[in-house]
């Protein structure tokens, strides 16, 4: 396992380092009309893990992206919690991957990473809404419908349209909650 590779995240593994192209691969998979609710939820979870790792790399570009990553992080944690209540993941503990020292994106990859994150969010939202009515389990349908709204906030965070629940304290150097 490398610093950019998640540990045990519901049997999801990624190579090092996570790239915009990898997230685009999950996004393309989500466009498949043949996906049922469990498959859609599994791909959304894989995408959330990839988005997390890609976002950590993007946060190293500058302070603006670092703040947006903090905003996106609260959405990622909400999605992990909610997806874990679905019937699909009933016997699985979902935990977001983390990395102590991610490798920064190359400057020419920054715009591509943001576009991949926003595209993933929008496509995941569309697929979740499309498969929700066909979900065989009520808990899957509930999560698909509710989290289609939550995952839209992931794109909003990366576009700078979502405020944070964490405020950087200018005095004392710590982080406080609001």
pLDDT in tens, 19-29: 999 999 999 99
Please state the rounded mean pLDDT for residues 48-64. 96
Return d(Cα 134, Cα 121) in angstroms, integer.
21
The answer to whether residue 8 scores a pLDDT higher than 50 is: no
- Are the CB atoms for 96 and 52 separated by under 8 Å? yes
Closest CA relative to residue 66, chosen from 155, 4, 152, 158: 158
Count the Cβ atoms, other than its own, within 10 Å of residue 117. 26
Q: Where residue 16 falls among pLDDT bands split at 50, 70, 90?
A: confident
Residue among 121, 137, 120, 123 nearest 37 (CA) = 137
The second-level CATH assignment, the architecture, of 20-177 is Up-down Bundle (1.20)
Tokens of 29: 């998979």
Question: What CA–CA distance (Å, rounded) separates 24 from 80?
Answer: 20
pLDDT of residue 20: 97
Predicted confidence (pLDDT) per residue in 142-151, tens digit: 999 999 999 9
Residue 164 has pLDDT above 80, yes or no: no
Q: Say whether pLDDT at 51 is over 50.
A: yes
Percent of the chain whose predicted confidence (pLDDT) is above 70:
83
Higher pLDDT: 170 or 149? It is 149
CA distance 129 to 50: 21
Kindly tell me the sign of the dihedral angle through the C-alpha atoms of 173, 114, 35, 10: negative
pTM above 0.75, yes or no: yes
pLDDT value of residue 4:
37
169 has a pLDDT exceeding 50: no
Distance CA 13, CA 144 (A): 23
Residue with tokens 């509930």: 142
Predicted confidence (pLDDT) at residue 15 exceeds the cutoff of 90:
no
């Amino acid at each position: 396992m490398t610093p950019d590779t998640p540990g045990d995240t519901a049997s999801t593994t990624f190579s090092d380092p996570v790239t915009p192209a990898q997230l685009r691969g999950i996004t393309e998979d989500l466009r498949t009309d043949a996906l049922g609710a469990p498959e859609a939820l599994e791909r959304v979870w894989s995408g959330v893990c990839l988005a997390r790792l890609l976002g950590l790399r993007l946060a190293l570009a500058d302070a603006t992206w670092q703040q947006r990553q903090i905003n996106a992080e609260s959405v990622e944690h909400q999605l992990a919690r909610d997806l874990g209540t679905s019937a699909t993941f009933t016997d699985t503990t979902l935990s977001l991957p983390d990395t102590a020292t991610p490798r920064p994106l190359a400057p020419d990859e920054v715009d591509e990473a943001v576009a991949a994150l926003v595209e993933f969010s929008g496509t995941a939202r569309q697929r979740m809404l499309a498969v929700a009515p066909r979900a065989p389990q009520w808990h899957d349908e509930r999560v698909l419908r509710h989290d289609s709204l939550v995952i839209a906030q992931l794109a909003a965070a990366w576009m700078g349209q979502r405020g944070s629940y964490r405020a950087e304290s200018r005095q004392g150097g710590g982080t406080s909650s609001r």
